[in-house]
């Protein structure tokens, strides 16, 4: 999949603090003609960013694809103007990710953007805002596809997105047998997963119910974010003989499963 250049969007809208560690000390010896430079051992620090999903808030996740060459236009002509309007209604952007692989399902975006709203009514207020409505045609001319999903969390959860990890955003539509089969699947798949881990379930997202149906709207039964070492580990697990024996439990638990792997975007 062709990677999306989100430099303009990142630099405009993300204000994340990065830590850089490095110490080099130069010592001059006046009694020697040779300059001696002493370098202290440096431990590489992995970039990370925290996003807190708050209880009582609405989490909007947008899965989008931008027409090639229009990335800067999306940032300058749409986001730069729409986010201040959204702020009047309590909406804000929490972060974005670059999609690296689609491992399951039909939704194949290039980017994932995460937003927070006080309520669904606040989001609806933005949609009804006259100034915002002038910007929607600009957005629609830039995006070639978009799917939106809305979630809540039962309690506050902070996810630390690391540069050296891959994050799977999944949405699942369950069968009536899922209540019985999924617990068995998680129990029996734990051992083979150890060979490709750590595989960490970092956030459980509860889809908002009762929204009007729309082509752009995803309304799964179950959603979440899983941290992987990388996508190679995912495919290794899928091909593992021990896991293959357990996989039918998952397959029979869902009518549809969307899995999207992504890396967090850090400002440069």
* Structural domains of the chain sorted by starting position, each given as residue range(s) with its CATH number in brackets: 50-264 (3.30.70.100)
* CB 58 within 8 Å of CB 117: yes
CB 263 within 8 A of CB 198: no
Q: What pLDDT band is residue 26 in, cutting at 50, 70 and 90?
A: very low
Residue 59 banded pLDDT, cuts 50, 70, 90: very high
What is the predicted pLDDT for the residue at 72? Answer: 86
Residue 240 has pLDDT above 70, yes or no: yes
Give the CB-side neighbour count of residue 259, counting CA atoms within 13 A. 15
DSSP β-bridge partners for residue 95: 114
Q: Give the residue with greater pLDDT, 7 vs 94.
A: 94
pLDDT at 268: 72
Q: Which helix (H) or strand (E) holds 13?
A: helix 7-13
Torsion over CA of 136, 60, 159 and 226, rounded to 10 degrees? -110
pLDDT tier at 27, thresholds 50, 70, 90: very low
Question: What are the tens digits of pLDDT across the range 152-176?
Answer: 999 999 999 999 999 999 999 999 9
Confidence (pLDDT) at 70:
87
pTM for the model stands at 0.83
Q: Provide the mean pLDDT of the chain.
A: 87
pLDDT recorded at residue 40? 62
Instruction: Tell me the per-residue pLDDT of 110-125, one tens digit each, with 9 for 90 and over.
Output: 999 999 999 999 999 9
Of 121 and 8, more confident:
121
Question: Cis (ω within 30 of 0) for the bond into 178?
Answer: no
User: What per-residue confidence (pLDDT) applies to 38?
Assistant: 55
State the chain's maximal CA–CA distance in angstroms.
Answer: 82
| pLDDT reading at 2 higher than 60 | no
What percentage of the chain carries pLDDT values higher than 90? 78
């Amino acid at each position: 999949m062709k990677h999306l250049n989100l430099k303009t969007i990142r630099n405009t809208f993300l204000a994340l603090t990065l830590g850089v560690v490095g110490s080099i000390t130069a010592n001059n010896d006046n009694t020697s003609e040779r300059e001696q430079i002493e370098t202290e051992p440096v431990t590489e620090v992995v970039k990370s960013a925290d996003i807190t999903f708050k209880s009582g808030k609405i989490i909007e996740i947008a899965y989008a694809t931008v027409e090639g060459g229009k990335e800067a236009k999306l940032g300058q002509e749409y986001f730069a103007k729409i986010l201040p309007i959204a702020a009047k209604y309590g909406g804000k952007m929490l972060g974005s990710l670059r999609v690296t692989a689609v491992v399951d399902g039909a939704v194949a975006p290039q980017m994932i953007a995460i937003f927070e709203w006080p309520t669904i009514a606040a989001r609806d207020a933005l949609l009804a805002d006259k100034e915002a409505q002038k910007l929607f045609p600009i957005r629609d001319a830039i995006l070639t596809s978009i799917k939106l999903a809305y979630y809540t969390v039962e309690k506050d959860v902070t996810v630390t997105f690391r540069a050296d990890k891959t994050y799977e955003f999944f949405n699942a539509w369950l069968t009536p047998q899922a209540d019985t089969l999924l617990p068995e699947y998680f129990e029996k798949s734990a051992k083979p997963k150890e060979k490709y881990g750590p595989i960490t379930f970092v956030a459980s997202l509860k889809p908002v119910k009762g929204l009007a149906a729309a082509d752009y709207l995803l309304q799964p039964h179950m959603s979440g974010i899983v941290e992987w070492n990388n996508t190679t580990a995912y495919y290794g697990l899928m091909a593992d003989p021990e896991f293959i024996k357990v996989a039918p439990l998952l397959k029979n638990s869902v009518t549809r499963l969307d899995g999207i792997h992504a890396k967090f975007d850090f400002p440069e």
